[in-house]
Amino acid sequence: MAAGAESGSGRGAGSAPSTPLATPMSAMSTTTPMSARSVRWERDVEEGCGGLERPLLLRRGTNTTSQMAVVGANVCPIESLDYEIVENDVYKQDWRSRGKIQIFHYQVLKWVLALLVGSVVGLIGFFSNIAVENIAGFKLLLTSNLMLQNRYKVAFLWYISCNAVLAAAAAALCTYIGPAAAGSGIPEVKAYLNGVDAPSILASTTLSVKIVGSIFGVSAGFVLGKEGPMVHIGACVASLLGQGGSRKYGFTWNWLRYFKNDLDRRDLITCGAAAGVAGAFRAPVGGVLFALEEATSWWRNALLWRTFSTTAVVAMVLRSLIEYCRSGNCGLFGKGGLIMFDVSSQVTSYTAMDLPAVVLLAVLGGLLGALFNFLLDQILRVYSHINEKGAPYKIVLTVAISLVTSCCSFGLPWLTACTPCPPELAASGRCPTIGRSGNFKNFRCPPGHYNAMASLFLNTNDDAIRNLFSGGTDSEFGVPMLLAFFAAVYSLGLVTYGVAVPAGLFIPVILSGASFGRLLGALTGLDTGLFALLGAASFLGGTMRMTVSVCVILLELTNDLLLLPLIMLVLLISKTVADYFNKGVYEQIVRMKGLPYLEVHGEPCMRSLVASDVVSGPLITFSSVEPSSASAPSWTRCGERDTTGSR
């Protein structure tokens, strides 16, 4: 059995808080018979978790569960999950007592659930994409039409109020219904998969708020992405499917009881996170690698294979739905393919002469990425003071940022002069484009002219990235314009992340990286489309510090394998440079949220720590046979409960 055979122990992120309790707990579970334990569970559930005299390691208390106990989420704010199998007598007896049918049932169910997670996440990813394209498309189309009628003030008012209303709605949802849904969600999922459970991050309310809030947030024109939220959505879907719906709403199935333990739930949530990435970027292999690289330190090959199957289902669902939309049944969704930013049609060639510029780009990208992490940290600290004051403050902050963003995206094109169209494109009617997408946006420009800034800013983020990556358009965006856009996007990305909407970091980072790269390409006179792509890679390496998964995601986004050596080089350099200054952005946020996530590399001081440094006495021990009627010490109660309802 897969679950039974696992003996890997990974980094053991969750072990730290449970260290003082671990030994007595496992000693107890070795000797207490199953039935006695379940009796005590039920009693404990009724009693609640009061009167704790247990030693406090963390600010808000800690907890430990064995892999057979089901995690309670209501009472203790942060829990430590134990993914290690304690192969004691009880465990072995439990496995031996199971019939062949039960084991077959478990195996089949494991696979059915993984594939179900893939389909559901694929559907959610696709429909949230359609919703965004239609809401944002309608907003931009109406703005554009009003401007064509020279009703500029009305257009601006419509645009800014549309954005503000969408932002306020998203913020209200996140504030009043699902506070855990704000932000990216990747840090929480990362912490969960490494053994740290925060309250209600995988609840059904969080899931619904995350979906709706993310659609509203992206449609509101914020400089944020839906990729991080999709990872969180995938994890939520997996968690809810694994426990057979939400117990809080009386919606649960008994035959899913095998999955009500930390280990199987963790496996399923790993699949969910991978499916999220696959659904967001349409990058199934990237999703598997993301789950492997960023999210989980407890890895084994069986999980690789299951994760791969899940993302394969996502890819197939997306492929067939996109094929269906090609016939124009999905409103403004457009006719995009499985590749989001396809650059394979461009002939990008590079020689050894380009190498110094590429290295320079990578170094600068690493520096700016590290600076991004530093500034984000500072800004989040300021925001946390504002957000702590109460729900209305959160909404006001969100609307304020929305207003600033709207002013930027409408005002900067206003300040930019019109550019004459390239003659060959003007003749073929491809410039200016009067409508929603296209490289050359008409924005109060005379016929035959286009507004370069509007092509990037008064657009969905996806279209802006597509424009930046496009090759053969070296003269389309001038240097001052790119500089202004880069500065605006970099700052807006920084100030947007902390507001109370579901906000991914991938898109802002790619957007600012691509504009920076294109700027450098324009300055050095090299291929701007290529440099935009490499700039995005350098910023991703500089902020996220992932390598293999970012590399594969970029390949799956752009479909140009010939650039692989260059992308790898850029990632290598930018990560190395940025690692010199600070940690990856997700690790920073995990730390800021107070989740007790253990680093890959321990601090040097930890080498000499002994148990007495982190626990306070008196030590409570169990005798090797403990009478089941004896009341357990009160601090063990919290660890063994059965209230998964809220998740």
- Judged by the rule CB under 8 A, the positions of this chain that interact with its own copies are 1-2, 4-5, 7-12, 92, 95-96, 284-285, 288-289, 292-293, 297, 299-302, 304-305, 308-309, 311-312, 315-316, 318-320, 323, 337-339, 344, 351-352, 547-548, 551-552, 555-556, 559, 561-562, 564-565, 568-569, 571-572, 575, 600-602, 607-608
In the complex with its own copies, the residue whose CB is nearer, 301 or 623, is 301
Cβ 554 to its own copies, closest distance in Å?
11
What's the one-letter identity of residue 266? R
CA–CA–CA angle 491, 332, 161 (5° rounding) = 45
Cβ 598 to its own copies, closest distance in Å?
10
Taken in order 127, 202, 590, 384, is the CA torsion positive or negative?
Answer: positive
In the complex with its own copies, the residue whose CB is nearer, 16 or 638, is 16
CA distance 279 to 294: 17
Helix axes 100-148, 301-325, angle to 10 degrees: 40
CA distance 182 to 175: 8
CA distance 496 to 357: 31
In the complex with its own copies, the residue whose CB is nearer, 186 or 397, is 186
- Phi-psi domain of 105 (left: phi exceeds 0; alpha: psi -120 through 50; beta: other): alpha
Contact by Cβ (8 Å): 184, 589: yes
Q: Could you tell me which residues are beta bridge partners of residue 81?
A: none
Cis check for the bond before 432: say yes or no (omega within 30 of 0). yes
Taken in order 514, 519, 522, 524, is the CA torsion positive or negative?
Answer: negative
In the complex with its own copies, the residue whose CB is nearer, 412 or 571, is 571
In the complex with its own copies, the residue whose CB is nearer, 339 or 487, is 339
In the complex with its own copies, the residue whose CB is nearer, 169 or 295, is 295
Cβ 568 to its own copies, closest distance in Å?
4
In the complex with its own copies, the residue whose CB is nearer, 4 or 422, is 4
CA 637 to chain centre: 33
CA distance 595 to 600: 15
Cβ 625 to its own copies, closest distance in Å?
21
Residues 6+ apart with CB under 8 A from 99: none
Cβ 285 to its own copies, closest distance in Å?
6
Cβ 305 to its own copies, closest distance in Å?
6
CA distance 257 to 94: 14
Cβ 308 to its own copies, closest distance in Å?
5
What's the one-letter identity of residue 611? A
CA distance 116 to 584: 32
Cβ 366 to its own copies, closest distance in Å?
15
Cβ 353 to its own copies, closest distance in Å?
12
Q: Which of 389, 375, 382 is nearest to 588 (CA)?
A: 375
Residue written as token pair 């709403």? 249
In the complex with its own copies, the residue whose CB is nearer, 363 or 401, is 363
In the complex with its own copies, the residue whose CB is nearer, 44 or 264, is 264
